[in-house]
């Protein structure tokens, strides 16, 4: 029998001495079954999977789910999960500690042992298959078309919010179902805010603009950042752009199977520190993307000691942010291959792009 996402999860149950796992993260339910509705839970034992939901989704489940038995609950998802565990003699059951709130956990019967798990399904999601890569690549292509649209239409007098709204709708017209996160358009001195959400600030001639955006395509996300100027910027912006570009390219060359998040972070921060801007780069250098905008592995948090493996898709996003002047970030999406990393996005230019302003 061919290996599937569900069978890989079932094999993992044995390694943790679990009779079953209760999956409550909607993203993980989608990943394992294809179900895109809400108000659901998935109970997976060594041989069987039950998708628990209500009658609103009966027809949707028939279309989307072909590897789990539909169970319609009458008195709540968690009471139903408890009933199933008792009916099928499941005693030691894992649950997703990151997403299961205490009020829901309290509804699970004490007749079973409920074992907290962390990133149990998430680690499976970290290695993308060919179908996932195709969807991520399409999400990147739509996002990049949106960027070209921004460069062609942005002008002094527009607000950051107007640019963001126009970009968001442009990507929807190309097939995106939404944005990966709230689109960041930070101009002028505000570009020194790494996550400066778009505001009513008017973009002026000479402003540097940091654009951090992405879209969702059939559930999978893209995540890119580009920095450009509208008219001639402060010379310091051009200088730090070159440093960030060098860090971005160096990270891309470093990424490969076995390389840890810490090694990636150390490289990017080391290069920027040597250039004299270390105090102005305070965040991680990248993260995994897929069905979620932040997933493993990457150069951040708990993944710093984790080595990359072929099939990971990660961002590469060094930056420098000068208070009162402006900031630069360049972010790409890359696929870890057997021998290194493949750039999935179009690389940024080596020099700061400048949108010419018509007098």
Q: What percent of the chain has pLDDT over 70?
A: 99
Q: What average pLDDT does the chain have?
A: 96
- Which pLDDT band holds residue 1 (cuts at 50, 70, 90)? low
- Which pLDDT band holds residue 301 (cuts at 50, 70, 90)? confident
Which of 23-32, 129-138, 159-168, 292-301 comes out lowest in average pLDDT? 292-301
* Mean pLDDT of the 235-244 span: 98
What pLDDT, in 10s, does the model give residues 109-138?
Answer: 988 999 999 999 999 999 999 999 999 999
* Mean pLDDT of the 218-227 span: 98
d(CA 201, CA 197): 11
Q: Which CATH number among 3.50.50.60, 3.40.350.10, 3.30.465.10, 1.10.1200.10 corresponds to the domain 5-125?
A: 3.40.350.10
What pLDDT, in 10s, does the model give residues 63-107?
Answer: 999 999 999 998 899 999 999 999 999 999 999 999 999 999 999
Which of 108-112, 243-247, 345-349 comes out lowest in average pLDDT? 108-112
CATH of domain 130-355: 3.90.230.10
* Mean pLDDT of the 146-151 span: 98
Among 228, 197, 226, smallest CA distance to 345 is for 226
- Which pLDDT band holds residue 3 (cuts at 50, 70, 90)? confident
Among 358, 351, 346, smallest CA distance to 147 is for 346
Reported in sequence order, the residue ranges of the chain that DSSP labels E, i.e. its strands, are 20-23, 41-45, 49-53, 69-72, 92-96, 113-117, 178-179, 184-187, 207-213, 215-217, 220-221, 224-230, 286-288, 295-299, 313-316, 319-322, 326-329, 332-336, 341-343, 354-355
d(CA 164, CA 212): 10
pLDDT, residue 302, reads 86
pLDDT, residue 153, reads 98
Residue ranges covered by each domain of the chain:
5-125, 130-355
What pLDDT, in 10s, does the model give residues 46-61?
Answer: 999 999 999 999 999 9
Q: Are 297 and 126 in contact (CB under 8 A)?
A: yes
Q: Would you tell me how many other CB atoms lie within 10 Å of the CB of residue 69?
A: 13
pLDDT at 180 over 90: yes
What pLDDT, in 10s, does the model give residues 5-28?
Answer: 999 999 999 999 999 999 999 999
The verdict on pTM exceeding 0.85 is: yes
Q: Would you tell me how many other CB atoms lie within 10 Å of the CB of residue 193?
A: 15
């Amino acid at each position: 029998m061919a290996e599937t996402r569900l069978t890989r999860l079932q094999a993992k149950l044995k390694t943790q001495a679990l009779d079953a796992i209760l999956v409550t993260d909607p993203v993980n339910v989608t990943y394992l079954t294809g179900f895109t509705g809400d108000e659901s839970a998935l109970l997976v034992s060594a041989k069987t999977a039950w998708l628990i939901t209500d009658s609103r989704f009966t027809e949707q489940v028939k279309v989307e789910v072909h590897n789990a038995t539909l169970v319609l609950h009458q008195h709540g998802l968690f009471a139903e999960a408890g009933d199933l565990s008792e009916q099928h003699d499941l005693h030691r059951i894992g649950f997703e500690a990151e997403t299961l709130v205490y009020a829901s956990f309290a509804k699970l019967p004490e007749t079973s042992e409920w074992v907290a798990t962390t990133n149990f399904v998430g680690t499976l999601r970290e290695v993308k298959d060919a179908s996932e890569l195709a969807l991520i690549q399409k999400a990147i292509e739509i996002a990049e078309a949106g960027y070209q649209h921004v460069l062609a239409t942005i002008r002094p007098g527009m607000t950051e919010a107007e640019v963001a709204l126009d970009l968001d709708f442009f990507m929807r017209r190309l097939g995106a179902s939404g944005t990966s996160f709230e689109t960041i358009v930070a101009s002028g001195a505000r570009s020194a805010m790494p996550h400066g959400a778009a505001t009513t600030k008017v973009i002026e001639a000479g402003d540097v603009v940091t654009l951090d955006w992405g879209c969702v395509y059939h559930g999978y996300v893209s995540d890119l950042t580009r920095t450009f100027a509208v008219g001639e910027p402060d010379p310091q912006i051009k200088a730090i752009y070159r440093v960030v570009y060098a860090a971005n390219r160096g990270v891309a060359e470093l990424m490969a199977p076995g390389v840890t998040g810490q090694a990636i972070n150390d490289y990017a921060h080391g290069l920027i520190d040597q250039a004299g801007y270390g105090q102005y780069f305070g965040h991680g250098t990248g993260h995994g993307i897929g069905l979620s905008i932040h997933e493993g592995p990457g150069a951040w948090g708990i993944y710093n000691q984790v080595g990359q493996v072929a099939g990971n898709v990660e961002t590469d996003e060094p930056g420098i942010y000068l208070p009162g002047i402006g900031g630069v970030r360049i972010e790409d999406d890359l696929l870890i291959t057997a021998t290194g990393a493949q750039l999935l996005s179009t690389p940024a230019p080596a020099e700061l792009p400048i949108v010419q302003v018509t007098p």
